[in-house]
Structure 1
């Protein structure tokens, strides 16, 4: 028997036995026990798990290849490290004449102190299944580690084609790593043992155990879901972020993905219009787009930057000269129906002339608006006026921009 074990045999354990079986791999199962499983790795580094691989070598014989494993017993028994240092052949009995069966290939540990078997050793064995129209695998015996299921067809024998190895094998091997190590997942997913435990799935996803479930790495630690995974990845919590290939970073609101950093909010009109009102109005004559407004949602910082302006020109009524006047543009800001900022000349954008008409000028101003309510929706509306009813104040290329501060 090529399978070596340590701390099983009452006598005869060699120093070599001890050296080759020391695994250092004890993925916790609970406070005092570890998972049974196989150490990961391969000779060329291409595969997660190549230890104790099995393939067919003859009609009814397969070969189990080298590998190291740990078999956990009861709490008092502890964990048994085992190591297969050379290939081990296993031979299956001929198939039933009528029905197929499923056999189980296992590592079986015998410890006479606990099982009264009279043996103290570890072996690779076959647990023969029961032939049936719909066969099922037999249960693994105590203190064993299932490796493979093998379907033995009805009538299979050395002289009758044997076992179709390409389709007969089902891999049951699961990896283990040392405490705190990242587990390369193979086979069925098992529950985690402690919050903060990590595993790497077969589809390249990094996961963290949160105490109740495995959570994709970006969700568990607050990282950003990459754009390559965003389309089919569900959010796990409010505030999670994801990248998208055709737009800005997004944040999960609890019901939908929305831009993580909304804005800037912008609206403009390239249509010229005028007013002769000496009090502020939001409607310009000859402009079709009235009023000019921008709606924005206040960020968590409670402040935004306002920028607004227009191309302004002052024209006198026919037959009048020498009239000094100014064109004013100001903003009124509402939250619902509540006025947050009223129209003020001090905060307006202005263009003036001393007497006779002047060429048009472009004017703008930038201001900070603070003290907002995060998440509240605000509406900004442009208003205009002239200082003389006999002077038309023209406004063209008018714009409002609101840039949230983050």
Structure 2
């Protein structure tokens, strides 16, 4: 027996079965469901051509989720499995799927209890699609079967026929590796996955989205108080959050030509998630707008309510630059 399942057989489950199958608590999908998927490590359950119309599925481990009442089935494939693809339809192509599948007579009509690696044949069509997943199964690979293909006419071109459909899972608290498809929700705040490109993502239940970790908001426009805007030259005012660090940039000026920024004027109110705890103050010297008093000192104040105000030691400025303002929210 090379496809072993833990917690499936009514009798005869060996100690070796239990050692090989992944029986630790797995990443959840809900209160009672585990995320079905392949267990990462090497190249588990890899598909390779083994003949003109045959393919071989390598060793590996996985979790197959049934209904909520059934629970999840830990699976271990301990020796490669060779499968035969049926000949192509005379007129149309089709897509077959290689699946891990559970048969449990307590929950289905199979009257058996076993775990298999098998091919589920798709329907031939002008535009074929993969067959739907049967209950308690996990799709591993799709095989495109062109019209008329068979061993007698050269068989399948395995370099083009196979499409990887393995999705991955992990133990509770682990990082879910990138597999086929990223269109799935997290189950709880603080769940992590690897998107396979930019890096880690963390599930945010309030936003209903996977967010980059450390969090990166990207540059966003800073909402200015009425009467203020970008003076038509220089970079528009914006903010960006990286983890707990916030950066501000851009030039702000009164929208009315020829006016200055009043001392203590509120020019913006920061969003709640970028407001510094306890408030912050920044000061720098600038030679602009001076008469004969020497460099002017500009002070930017952000209070606990997020109000951003400007104070000037000498001449009132006609514009202010936020470039270089960086702080932490905590």
Q: Normalization by structure 2: what TM-score?
A: 0.73
Find 1:131's aligned residue among 124, 132, 137: 124
Equivalent residue, structure 1, for 2:301: 299
What is the rounded CA distance, in whole Å, between the counterparts of 1:90 and 1:167 in structure 2?
Answer: 18
Deviations 1:261-284 (A, max 9, x none): 966232179xxxxxxxxxxxx866
Equivalent residue, structure 2, for 1:34: 34
Q: 1:283 to 1:92 in 2, by over 3 A?
A: closer
Find 1:177's aligned residue among 154, 162, 170: 170
Equivalent residue, structure 2, for 1:266: 286
What is the rounded CA distance, in whole Å, between the counterparts of 1:405 and 1:11 in structure 2?
Answer: 65
Equivalent residue, structure 1, for 2:155: 162
| Structure 2 unmatched ranges of 5 or more | 223-237, 250-269, 275-279, 316-323
Find 1:380's aligned residue among 288, 313, 316: 313
Q: 1:242 to 1:33 in 2, by over 3 A?
A: closer
What is the rounded CA distance, in whole Å, between the counterparts of 1:81 and 1:375 in structure 2?
Answer: 56
Q: Is the 8 A contact 1:298 1:404 kept in 2?
A: no
Deviations 1:314-359 (A, max 9, x none): xxxxxxxxxxxxxxxxxxxxxxxxxxxxxxxxxxxxxxxxxxxxxx
Equivalent residue, structure 2, for 1:104: 97
Q: 1:374 to 1:145 in 2, by over 3 A?
A: closer
Aligned 1:250-399 pairs, distance under 5 A: 250-251=247-248, 264-267=284-287, 294=296, 296-300=298-302, 375-381=308-314
Find 2:195's aligned residue among 196, 201, 205: 201
1:64 aligns with 2:57: yes
| Bigger-Rg structure (1/2) | 1
SS of 2:214 mapped into structure 1:
helix
Q: 1:156 to 1:194 in 2, by over 3 A?
A: same
RMSD (CA atoms): 3.4
Q: 1:122 to 1:250 in 2, by over 3 A?
A: same
Q: 1:293 to 1:68 in 2, by over 3 A?
A: same
What is the rounded CA distance, in whole Å, between the counterparts of 1:4 and 1:205 in structure 2?
Answer: 34
1:2 aligns with 2:2: yes
Q: Which has the higher mean CA deviation after the structures are superposed, 233-242 or 64-73? A: 233-242
What is the rounded CA distance, in whole Å, between the counterparts of 1:57 and 1:13 in structure 2?
Answer: 31
Q: Is the 8 A contact 1:297 1:374 kept in 2?
A: no
What is the rounded CA distance, in whole Å, between the counterparts of 1:160 and 1:206 in structure 2?
Answer: 47
What is the rounded CA distance, in whole Å, between the counterparts of 2:199 and 2:220 in structure 1?
Answer: 15
Find 2:212's aligned residue among 205, 208, 216: 216
Q: 1:264 to 1:165 in 2, by over 3 A?
A: same
Equivalent residue, structure 2, for 1:346: none
Q: Is the 8 A contact 1:25 1:39 kept in 2?
A: no
Q: 1:25 to 1:89 in 2, by over 3 A?
A: farther
| Structure 1 unmatched ranges of 5 or more | 43-49, 220-224, 244-248, 270-281, 285-290, 303-372, 383-402
Q: 1:15 to 1:239 in 2, by over 3 A?
A: same
SS of 2:97 mapped into structure 1:
strand
SS of 2:151 mapped into structure 1:
coil
What is the rounded CA distance, in whole Å, between the counterparts of 1:31 and 1:268 in structure 2?
Answer: 62
Equivalent residue, structure 1, for 2:136: 143
SS of 2:172 mapped into structure 1:
coil
How much does 1:195 deviate? 0.8
Q: Normalization by structure 1: what TM-score?
A: 0.60
What is the rounded CA distance, in whole Å, between the counterparts of 1:283 and 1:264 in structure 2?
Answer: 18
Deviations 1:15-64 (A, max 9, x none): 2222211342511010111111111111xxxxxxx211111121111110
What is the rounded CA distance, in whole Å, between the counterparts of 1:106 and 1:96 in structure 2?
Answer: 21
1:83 aligns with 2:80: no
Q: Which has the higher mean CA deviation after the structures are superposed, 127-136 or 195-204? A: 195-204
Equivalent residue, structure 1, for 2:228: none
